[in-house]
Amino acid sequence: MERPPGHPAFADSKIGVLLVNLGTPDAPTPKAVRRYLAEFLSDPRVVEIPRLVWWPILHGVILNTRPKKSAHAYAQVWTEQGSPLAAYTRAQADALEARLEGVANVRWAMRYGQPNIADELTKLQEQGCRRILFAPLYPQYSGATTASAMDALGVALKAMRWQPAVRSLPPYYDDPLHIEALRADLSRQISALDFDPEVLLLSFHGMPERTLHLGDPYHCQCRKTSRLLAESLAADYPGMRVETSFQSRFGRAKWLEPYTDEVLVNEARAGTRRLAIAAPAFAADCLETREELAIRGREQFLGAGGAEFAALDCLNAGEAGMAMLEALVRRELAGWI
């Protein structure tokens, strides 16, 4: 049947994949960092404090003091392609689209900052994608990360008259594909070191302890990732002890323990001389891995008496990580492709 005169033409239905990560400022400057932090720390999923209490603290203290310090930290790890998180997430999207060989259009977005979720969802729709896999790159589920990304997806969909069919990538903290990717990539990096680590410290992003008691599964999922990864590494590294810690605590409240900075100091003081650190909660390297762990973590461990320190890369767009991501995405697209 011919299209009636005046009837708009629509592109053939395609499949889209939207990779989503946390966010980054546009530049390593106090102004850009302030804009980013204002958006990030205004999310009630991130800071679960009543607005009447939190707003004066955020706008009266934090946004007037923290941007300059954070901008200095970002400047130490900034690249020609932008922040590490943006550069690696872009590379992951490009690599995934190539590996899918025409099966799907792949774009990437940030929950906070640019490119934002609503714009990238619209671009996929404009490309003719009527079925979209929304893929938050958080191996472990948390209300402050996964749920917040899903909230943003809901807001974006609410503004659309013609909504695509949407699926979401589940957390993959204990998926055999994830554990094997971590094992293979970390083994590759450890074997390339010029020392044999006595300890491999797995540092996860921290959360306030109260989130655990409120029912957030993040802590338990981090612990399971650690246990499974330690078991997978045991045969090849029988003399290496694997420990778990939590980094990036903020404010005076109690956060998930033990704290990474304290573990680094205590390990060195207890006699550990050779330590490697990895961050299995991060799909891509970012400020928290490149500055907090690789720079400040090194200073903390060596300053307390340690002798050898290595901060291992995240999966990023490496072979092991991309093989895992392709397999996860193809599995979630079953029935669509």
Residues 37, 67 contacting (CB under 8 angstroms): yes
DSSP states of 248-263 as a string?
Answer: ---SSS-BSSSBHHHH
Please say if the pLDDT value at position 333 is more than 80: yes
Mean pLDDT of the chain: 96
Q: Which two tokens stand for residue 11?
A: 């592109």
Q: Which of 204, 210, 206, 205 is nearest to 49 (CA)?
A: 210
Supply the DSSP symbol for 83: S
Tell me if domain 14-172+320-332 and domain 176-311 are identical in fold.
Answer: yes
Q: What is the pTM of this model?
A: 0.94
pLDDT at 252: 83
The CATH code of the domain at 14-172+320-332 is 3.40.50.1400
The CATH code of the domain at 176-311 is 3.40.50.1400
Q: Which residues of 103-121 are buried (b: 16+ CB within 10 A; e: fewer)?
A: bbbbbbbbbbbeebbbebb
Domains of the chain by residue range: 14-172+320-332, 176-311
pLDDT at 7: 60
Q: CA distances (Å), 265 to each of 242, 270, 281, 305, in order? A: 16, 9, 22, 8
H helices of the chain, in order, are 30-40, 51-57, 63-77, 84-100, 117-126, 148-158, 176-191, 209-213, 218-234, 260-269, 287, 298-303, 319-332
Span 17-49, pLDDT tens digits: 999 999 999 999 999 999 999 999 999 999 999
Residues 178, 323 contacting (CB under 8 angstroms): no
Identify the band that residue 78 occupies on the pLDDT scale cut at 50, 70 and 90: very high
Identify the band that residue 13 occupies on the pLDDT scale cut at 50, 70 and 90: confident
Q: Is 235 exposed, middle or buried (0-12, 13-18, 19+ CB in 10 A)?
A: exposed
Span 313-322, pLDDT tens digits: 999 999 999 9
Please say if the pLDDT value at position 6 is more than 80: no
